[in-house]
Structure 1
Amino acid sequence: MKKKIALILATGSLLAGGAALAQPADRGERGPMTRDAVAERTAERFAKMDANGDGVINPADREAKMKERFAKMDTNNDGVLSETEFTTAHQQMRENRKERREARAERRGGQQMRRGGRGGRGGGQGAMLKRADANQDGQVTQAEFQTAALARFDRVDANGDGTITRDERRAARQAMRGQRRGQ
């Protein structure tokens, strides 16, 4: 039962933490973002998500990440998570999240995010990867991953100049909110 709880926690944290990995730009970034910078960042993010280094993102990568997270939480390496290990890991994740939130707020000049985390956007990493899987084979290659990220970039780059400005990001967010509300 404890192992099952840990796997559920690891899966949830992987999905929540990975949701932003496929995004074309850092949400905390204030300045313009070029298409070339997005391509470079996308390649870096793909490498991080390709846990087993086989050149595709697929269920094997998620399984490898889950095992890695479980092993990290299982501090005494007995293959079972005790209540103490589980609580300690959960507390550490909360502290890490708080530190990241504070760092983002500091970069924004003290402004806090208006919504509570990434969970409210719907779909998470799984949905983004599914949309990126152009040939629907259950795997996302680096080419598919980059193509999807650059397509998102191009949708936001309203004037097509190869750079997304703060105003273009803001307009894209507002348009997305409008779509979610059914406007």
Structure 2
Amino acid sequence: MMKIAAVTALTLTLAGGVALAAGGHGGERFARADTDSNGAISRSEALAMSTARFAKMDKDNSGTLTPDELGRHGGKHAGHKNGKQDVSDEDRAARMEARFARMDADSNGAITMDEMKSAAQKRDDTRESRRAERFASLDANGDGTVSESEFTTASVDMLFARADADSSGDITQEEMRAAHKAMRDARKADRTK
């Protein structure tokens, strides 16, 4: 279970590379990542950002991240309330209706305790499977920990795969915003499944 929590934290941290650089309120985070102030984040700037994140997470300075260290690093994303994006009442109601329909297996307009337990188990199984796959993809040598090299390589590669739309080797603030929006839209689509 600790490994699962750790994978969640790592996933949030990796995804946070896009969120971090996208920034809110005038792009302060983007500006911090853009150390040469040229209006774009280069691979070397992204690597420096990722290396700093790794160092912050590596509490015992061992050069590797354990599931415990990853778990302690998890947290809320900036620009979100209680870890979730602000959504309209209309969107929230639509999500609740869809969630209710998924849980109401016999479509009788009521959710029994068995239906609730079944839905919770299905959700937990899906999450556990995704987390295990993500961890395995990051733990390149399969030793049960994520080294600085594994972490920074995955972070930078993921960031550039998602955000460097023109494959220039640099990520502009516009590309970062577009990648951030695409991630939000994908999460929103996942919630409706």
Q: TM-score, normalised by structure 1?
A: 0.51
Q: Residues 21 and 135 (structure 1 numbering): CA distance in 2 closer, same or farther, change over 3 Å?
A: same
Is the 8 Å Cα contact of residues 157 and 164 (structure 1) preserved in structure 2?
yes
Aligned-pair Cα RMSD in Å: 4.1
The answer (yes or no) to whether the contact 1:158–1:168 under 8 Å persists in 2 is: yes
| Aligned with residue 83 of structure 2, among 118, 132, 138 | 118
Aligned to 2:169: 162
2:160 and 2:8 map into 1 onto residues whose CA distance is: 25
Local SS of the residue matching 1:33:
strand
Q: Is the 8 A contact 2:139 2:145 kept in 1?
A: yes
Write the deviation string for residues 34-76 of structure 1: whole angstroms up to 9, x where unpaired: 211110111111111111111110135368x69xxxxxxxxxx
Shift of the 38–161 alpha-carbon distance from structure 1 to 2, 3 Å rule, reads same
Identity %: 27
User: Is this contact kept in 2: 1:16–1:118, CA < 8 A?
Assistant: no
Query: Structure 1: which amino acid aligns with 2:166?
Result: N
Q: Which residue of 31, 34, 52 maps to 2:60? A: 52
Change (3 A) 1:62 1:172: closer
Aligned to 2:17: 24
Distance (whole Å) between structure 2 residues aligned to residue 153 and residue 48 of structure 1: 19
Q: How many Å separate the matches in 1 of 2:7 and 2:82?
A: 13
Residues 13-162 of structure 1 mapped to structure 2, 5 A cutoff: 21-22=13-14, 23-24=16-17, 26=20, 27-28=22-23, 29-31=29-31, 32-59=40-67, 61=69, 113=79, 115-119=80-84, 127=131, 131-155=137-161, 156-162=163-169
Please tell me whether the aligned partners of residues 19 and 118 of structure 1 are also in contact (alpha carbons under 8 angstroms): no
Aligned residues: 125
Once the two structures are superposed, residues 106-142 of structure 1 have per-residue CA deviations (whole angstroms, 9 ceiling, x without a partner) of xxxxxxx3x315356xx8xxx5766522334320001
**Structure 1: which 4+ aligned runs deviate by more than 4 Å?**
14-21, 127-131
**Given the two structures, how large is their TM-score scaled by the length of structure 2?**
0.48
Q: Does the residue aligned with 1:24 lie in a helix, a strand or coil?
A: helix
User: CA separation in 1, counterparts of 2:70 and 2:183?
Assistant: 28
Segments of 5+ residues of structure 2 without an aligned counterpart are: 24-28, 32-39, 86-126
Contact kept, 8 Å, 2:7 with 2:67, in 1: the verdict is: no
Residue 175 of structure 1 aligns with which residue? Answer: 182
